[in-house]
């Protein structure tokens, strides 16, 4: 049955008219219909909407903008050659490849011999390394774009906003005018299509979009800011957003994270630490905030001075800065005594596991102590890269004139916000480091890892670890505490629904209505079947005035592949389909049942010797079908089933 569903391909022929009816129904009024915006609602058709995709870290192709001769290799770099990601050149000419990838760690300039720039268009984000084998392995947004095409979306309605993911936020604007161009992209989409855009951001792309919203405040008069957002942005879908940072960033900065590339961890660390964006994803405390250096427009003038970084009392009363455990535990030689760490003199003695002469000292650091630079000052004498990190941290983050990105998110001032992420995968939340005895970049090794797994903390050896685990775990890359921060954006009362990710008849749907919410995590009292993957929806029952917020948690959806999840793509389309109908009785699409929407969703039920979901699917052979499941197709009347989602 699984093979039937996976190997099915669309067959063009006369019978495909029925399949196209569904696509035409979803885009039924590509040239007809009206368009109105109410309070957080879209009425009419979505033929005037645009979709703007902001990809995540390492999810945009980079191309060479230089001529670089690579000795001892038959492959050179010429203008427009693919750099990120060309695994052939990475394997055959790694030193040349690194020259095109590395940036100056202090000023973020290119190597004198080679520079790289982000590609443009949808092709820049669909497959990073196109090819028969490498293409599927490096696919990011390709399946998402295929869904758009299958549902009849116009080519000019999907717009990619690729960027150089190596740069810090301020350098994106300084070097590439990225945020200025992004503003123009929204304005062009409005003029071209006649309606606002839907923003789809993944991973670091959410941080980029947050910075854009703050940058926009300095470009638009205060009285016009909200109006501009209402005119140009209908909804924001934040997918896999590291709202409080990611602990994996720490591993990449200290020991290197290869992300599956055929390079050593030391090389990966050297490359990662040359990127200004590496600090953008550092974990930080949910209790500490900083004021912008320039409060242009809103303060009635310009105030200059250092950012005021203030923490709530909870930061010092609770452990771990709102995370589940200390993120870094590191051994440092203590032969020089406590005077070797003047930057951590305010630490209490409990931060030291041993002060015996000649024995290593173990220091523990929370998210706050990482993001404010305390950790890097503590290891400055033992790590040659710490000075660079402190310089970049102060220049590009703490003193950023637009926003200190290492501070908690407030709900974006957009009418419709959907926060979507995966849960209940094993996720790294803490590390134990020790000196390796080797020079930089291999001077630290990981001696142990702490994971969060479905509400508990365990070490790499499988032992239970004390801490403050959440009710669930993260998405393999970002911890649950960071992903779920957006639950604070929900209104005072929340409706919670848990339903299977696959098509279902509603028998396994659980609902809790009007759950009180006080700007904290919301945990449902619901059961789970161990063999079923669920989506848990948290949706405003009582909204913030003029706003609509929802949080979707997808079981076992990992960070990278969530944008390729069929369940996620189905829910996106159904929610938009629901929104365009003026007679919709509810603010959100019903979760009562989910039937097949595409031919690919139909399959052969060998137990009953018929196509599964007979009310939606039927057996209809088309020349070229090679198995029974491929001949299961949507019924002629299946388009009418969409009326159930209004």
**pLDDT single digits (tens) 461-478:** 889 999 999 999 999 999
Q: Could you give phi then psi for residue 20, rounded to 5 degrees? A: -70, -20
Cβ-Cβ contacts under 8 Å for 628 (sequence gap 6 or more): 4, 604, 619
Helices (H) and strands (E) in the chain, counts: 19, 25
For the segment 104-130, the average pLDDT, to the nearest whole number, is 92
Determine the average pLDDT of the residues in 313-337: 85
**Distance between CA atoms of residues 368 and 238, nearest Å:** 24
| pLDDT range class, residue 303, cuts 50, 70, 90 | very low
Indicate if the pLDDT at residue 153 is higher than 90: no
**Where are the alpha helices (H) located in 151-247, listed in sequence order?**
169-176, 178-193, 204-217, 222-232
pLDDT band per the 50, 70, 90 thresholds, residue 544: confident
Whether pLDDT at 518 is above 60: yes
| Residues recognised as catalytic | 203, 475, 518
pLDDT tens-digit series, residues 24-39: 444 433 323 334 444 4
pLDDT of residue 25: 40
Which residue has better confidence, 404 or 581? 404
- The band of 18, judged by pLDDT with boundaries at 50, 70 and 90, is very low
Backbone angles phi, psi at 377, to 5 degrees: -70, -35
In this prediction, residue 130 carries a pLDDT of 77
For residues 384 and 381, give the distance between their C-alpha atoms in angstroms, rounded to a whole number. Answer: 7
Answer with the residue of higher pLDDT: 348 or 526. Answer: 526
Q: What is the pLDDT of residue 143?
A: 84
**Is 618's pLDDT higher than 50?**
yes
Least confident of 57-61, 234-238, 519-523: 519-523
What integer pLDDT is reported at residue 645 of this predicted model? Answer: 75
Alpha helices in 15-166 (DSSP H): 16-26, 87-92, 94-101, 123-126, 134-137, 142-150
Q: Let me know the angle formed at the C-alpha of 420 by 416 and 425, rounded to the nearest 5 degrees.
A: 170
pLDDT of residue 639: 54
Handedness of CA 138, 144, 147, 153 (dihedral sign): negative
Residue 336 has what pLDDT? 47
Above 90 in pLDDT, residue 187?
yes
For residue 137, pLDDT beyond 80: no
- Residue 123 phi/psi, 5-degree rounding, is -65, -20
Q: Across residues 545-574, what is the average pLDDT?
A: 92
- 250 or 44, which is more confident: 250
Q: Which residues lie below 8 Å from residue 532, measured CB to CB, with a gap of 6+?
A: 500, 501, 508
**Residue 276: how many CA atoms within 13 Å on its side-chain side?**
23
Helix (H) / strand (E) containing 608:
none
Element (DSSP H or E) covering residue 84 = strand 82-84
Which residue do the tokens 């929104």 mark? Answer: 579
How sure is the predictor about 352, in pLDDT bands with cuts at 50, 70 and 90? Answer: very low
309-311 and 233-239 strand pairing? unpaired
349-363, 420-434, 550-564: least confident range: 349-363
pLDDT above 60 (res 19): no
* Over residues 573-584, mean pLDDT: 81
Lowest mean pLDDT segment, chosen from 3-12, 229-238, 288-297, 559-568: 3-12
CA distance 591 to 582: 19
Mean pLDDT of the chain: 85
Average pLDDT over residues 253-276: 92
Rg (the chain; Cα; Å): 26
Look at residue 546 and tell me whether its pLDDT is greater than 60: yes
For residues 161 and 185, the answer to whether their CB atoms sit within 8 Å is: yes
Q: Which two tokens stand for residue 82?
A: 């693919």
CA 195, 570, 499, 54 dihedral sign is negative
Which residues in 476-555 belong to E strands, given as ranges? 493-500, 510-516, 534-542, 548-555
Report DSSP state, residue 397. Answer: I
Is pLDDT of 207 > 80?
A: yes
Q: Please give the model's pTM, rounded to 2 decimal places.
A: 0.88
pLDDT at 209 over 90: yes
% of the chain exceeding 70 in pLDDT: 83
Supply the pLDDT for residue 330.
96
Q: What is the pLDDT of residue 34?
A: 38
| Residue 584: per-residue pLDDT | 72
Sequence-distant (6+) residues with CB within 8 A of 132 are: none
């Amino acid at each position: 049955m699984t093979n039937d569903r996976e190997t099915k391909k669309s067959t063009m022929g006369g019978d495909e008219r029925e399949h196209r009816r569904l696509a035409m129904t979803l885009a039924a009024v590509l040239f007809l219909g009206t368009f109105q915006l109410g309070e957080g609602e879209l009425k009419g058709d979505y033929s005037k909407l645009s979709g703007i995709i902001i990809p995540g870290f390492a999810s945009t192709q980079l191309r060479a903008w230089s001529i670089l001769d690579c000795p001892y290799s038959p492959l050179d770099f010429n203008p427009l050659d693919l750099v990120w990601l060309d695994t052939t050149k990475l394997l055959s000419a790694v030193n040349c490849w690194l020259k095109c990838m590395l940036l100056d760690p202090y000023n973020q300039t290119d190597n004198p011999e080679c520079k790289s720039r982000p590609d443009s268009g949808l092709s820049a984000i669909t497959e990073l390394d196109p090819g028969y084998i490498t293409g599927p392995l490096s696919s990011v947004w390709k399946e998402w774009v295929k869904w758009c095409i299958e549902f009849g979306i116009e080519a000019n309605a999907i717009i990619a906003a690729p960027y150089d993911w190596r740069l810090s936020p301020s350098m994106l604007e300084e070097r590439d005018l990225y945020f200025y161009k992004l503003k123009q992209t929204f304005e062009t989409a409005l003029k071209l299509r006649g309606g606002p855009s839907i923003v789809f951001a993944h991973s670091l792309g959410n941080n980029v979009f947050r910075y854009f919203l703050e940058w926009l405040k300095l470009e638009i008069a205060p009285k016009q800011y909200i109006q501009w957002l209402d005119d140009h942005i209908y909804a924001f879908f934040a997918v896999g957003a590291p709202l409080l940072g990611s602990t994996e960033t720490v591993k990449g900065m200290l020991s290197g994270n290869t992300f599956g590339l055929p390079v050593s961890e030391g090389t990966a660390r050297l490359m990662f630490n040359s990127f200004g964006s590496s600090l953008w994803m550092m974990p930080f405390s949910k209790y500490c905030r900083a004021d912008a250096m320039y409060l242009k427009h809103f303060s009635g003038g310009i105030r200059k001075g250092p950012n005021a970084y203030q923490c709530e009392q909870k930061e010092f009363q609770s452990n771990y800065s709102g995370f589940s455990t200390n993120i870094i535990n590191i051994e440092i030689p203590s032969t020089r005594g406590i005077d070797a760490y003047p930057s951590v003199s305010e630490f209490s003695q409990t931060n030291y596991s041993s002060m015996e002469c000649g024995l290593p000292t173990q220091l523990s650091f929370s998210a706050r102590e990482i993001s404010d630079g305390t950790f890097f000052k503590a290891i400055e004498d033992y790590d040659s890269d710490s000075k660079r990190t402190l310089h970049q941290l102060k220049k590009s983050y703490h003193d950023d004139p637009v926003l200190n990105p290492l501070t908690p998110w407030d709900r974006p001032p957009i009418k419709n916000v959907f926060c979507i992420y995966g849960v209940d995968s094993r996720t790294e939340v803490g590390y134990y480091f020790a000196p390796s005895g080797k020079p930089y970049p291999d001077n630290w090794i990981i001696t142990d890892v702490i994971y969060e797994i479905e509400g508990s903390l365990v070490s790499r050896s499988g032992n239970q670890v004390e801490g403050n685990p959440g009710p669930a775990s993260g998405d393999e890359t970002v911890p649950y505490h960071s992903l779920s921060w957006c639950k604070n954006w929900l209104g005072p009362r929340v409706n919670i629904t848990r339903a299977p990710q696959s098509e279902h008849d509603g028998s396994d749907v659980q609902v809790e209505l009007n759950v009180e919410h006080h700007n904290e995590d919301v945990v449902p009292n619901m059961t789970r079947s161990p063999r079923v993957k669920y989506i848990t929806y948290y949706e405003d029952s009582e909204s913030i005035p003029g706003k609509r917020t929802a949080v979707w948690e997808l079981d076992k959806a990992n960070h990278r592949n969530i944008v390729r999840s069929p369940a996620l793509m189905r829910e996106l389309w159904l929610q938009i389909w629901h929104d365009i109908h003026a007679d919709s009785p509810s603010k959100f699409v019903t979760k009562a049942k989910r039937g097949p929407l595409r031919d690919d969703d139909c399959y052969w039920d060998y137990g009953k010797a018929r196509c599964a979901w007979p009310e939606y699917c039927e057996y209809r052979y088309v020349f070229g079908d090679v198995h029974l499941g491929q001949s299961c197709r949507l019924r002629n009347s299946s388009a009418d089933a969409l009326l159930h989602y209004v």
